[in-house]
Amino acid sequence: MREQGITELVRQSMESFGLEGSGTRILAGVSGGADSVCMLLVLKELGYEVSAVHVEHGIRGEESIEDCAYVRSLCDAYRVPLHVVQVDAPAAARECSMTLEEAARCERRRVFRETAGREGIRIVATAHHRMDQAETVLWNLIRGSSVGGLGGIRPARREDGLLFIRPLLECGKEQIEGWLRQKGISWRTDRTNYDTRITRNAIRLKVMPLLEELNPLAAEHITQAASDFRQVEEWLVQEENDLWARVILEEGDKESKDLTADRVLLGAAPGILRGRILRRMIGRCTGSMKDIGRAHVDALDRLVSGPNGRMASLPGGFTAFSEEGILRLTRQKEEPGAGDCPIGKGGVYSFPRVPDGRQGEMTAEVSYLTWQGGEVPKKKYTKYLAYDTMAPCLVLRTRRPGDYLMVNAAHGRRKLKDYLIDEKVPRLMRDSIPLIAQGSHVLWVIGKRISEGAKVREGTECVRITVSGFQ
């Protein structure tokens, strides 16, 4: 491609960012590779006031030092102010439990932010191009990203008071290198770019060539699709914000972070919006999206459409409860109390108790399974109980304030205290009756009834509990 072609592409990108050439200060990340060298020189040619920052990652030894020397020479030749910063990416990777690639990227971003802040520059340019975009979209696709991830790299994004721009995002790799050759400008090549153990390299060196055999315009078409996905994402964000304002009934303070949502409105929302709201609810409560997966969102979705009294355990110690008309995320009553016996896994559990004034010990044999249908065995001390949790959070315990049973098919509640009175359980015995419970929902008053909310249905997960030592 001729020089004017790529210069015009960058000019159009900069105009789309609302950035004029004269007097606009930009900090450009320059590694010494073809992409960053091209970006630096085109921006300077277009009249922008460009400074460069080069990050030496402490990874490639002498080769890295030579890269730095090349960038110094280039910036000297074109009278571009240069900031060189050394980091220890391997140490950062160990400290933060990241891959070396992730740590190097985080260190670069940190250096860009700090250098821009120190120099009073509000715009940072990085040299991502069309092939980088295609790689990102494919990588996000195969690792399970939704619409937002399929939008790939944004051409511009505000972050921490800075505007990050990618002026070359519409340019092909061949265009970039061709422009440099016409100018007689050399560049540095990072040998780690050919290490196919790195996912992005494998996509670029193995997957993209196959796609381009099928269609030479594969990268361009993927980039165009990413642009469409970004527009879809922008629309979804607007719809999500509107739905959030309507379905969130109560937000806790910064300390509790509890949330209460309208289950009816959530249940009526389109699935893609409902999923986004549920994911946002978890992130709002836990303070991080890091450990939130599709399984967590699916668990909440089951609570939205399921019966009252179900619950799900979430990251960060939160528990979700389905109640009459609402979905509640809270840390309240999440931890077993004193004397409680968690039975989160299969096995045999012992529980001390004092029936009729005599010291004793009860055992519970627990196993988890999927109910395949048929008549549920009616045994007094073996029960099959439905549960709907991300991780089983059943406890074997005695009663405490707030306990309740579900007593009819409409999932009406009854206080455990009132139930025990109706059953004519002596007052002195009520505190020693063992229970199987999820939070305040009593699934089984051992030796008596189970909750309507604990009745198993075909194809659903259940827990089989056999009690001995209580007869």
Q: In the chain, what are the domains?
A: 3-228 (3.40.50.620), 252-330 (3.30.465.60), 341-468 (no CATH)
Binned at pLDDT 50, 70 and 90, residue 256 comes out as low
Between 112-121, 167-176, 323-332, 418-427, the lowest mean confidence (pLDDT) is in: 323-332
The chain-wide mean pLDDT, for the chain, equals 86
Provide the angle, in degrees to the nearest 10, between the axes of the packed helices 89-96 and 100-119: 110
Predicted local confidence at residue 356, as pLDDT = 47
Q: For residues 169 and 205, give the distance between their C-alpha atoms in angstroms, rounded to a whole number.
A: 19
pLDDT, mean of residues 179-207: 89
Contact criterion met (CB below 8 Å) for 83 and 113: no
In the numeric block, the tokens 């295609």 are attached to: 134
The Cα-based distances of 59 to 63, 171, 200 in angstroms read 9, 29, 18
pLDDT, mean of residues 144-158: 90
Between 277-286, 292-301, 423-432, 440-449, the lowest mean confidence (pLDDT) is in: 292-301
The tokens of 31 are what? 């590694």
Query: Does pTM top 0.95 for this prediction?
Result: no
Between 46-50, 113-117, 320-324, the lowest mean confidence (pLDDT) is in: 320-324
Give residues with Cβ within 8 angstroms of 20, minimum separation 6: 14
Predicted local confidence at residue 337, as pLDDT = 59
Binned at pLDDT 50, 70 and 90, residue 360 comes out as low
Cα torsion 201, 207, 210, 212 to 10°: value is -70
Predicted local confidence at residue 3, as pLDDT = 42
Edge-to-edge order in the sheet of strand 311-313: 248-251, 259-262, 326-330, 319-323, 311-313
Residue 61: how many CB atoms within 10 A of its CB? 8
The Cα-based distances of 406 to 300, 321, 322, 441 in angstroms read 20, 14, 13, 8
Binned at pLDDT 50, 70 and 90, residue 379 comes out as confident
Q: For residues 444 and 383, give the distance between their C-alpha atoms in angstroms, rounded to a whole number.
A: 8
- Which comes out higher in pLDDT, residue 138 or 307? 138
pLDDT, mean of residues 70-91: 92
pLDDT, mean of residues 228-241: 95
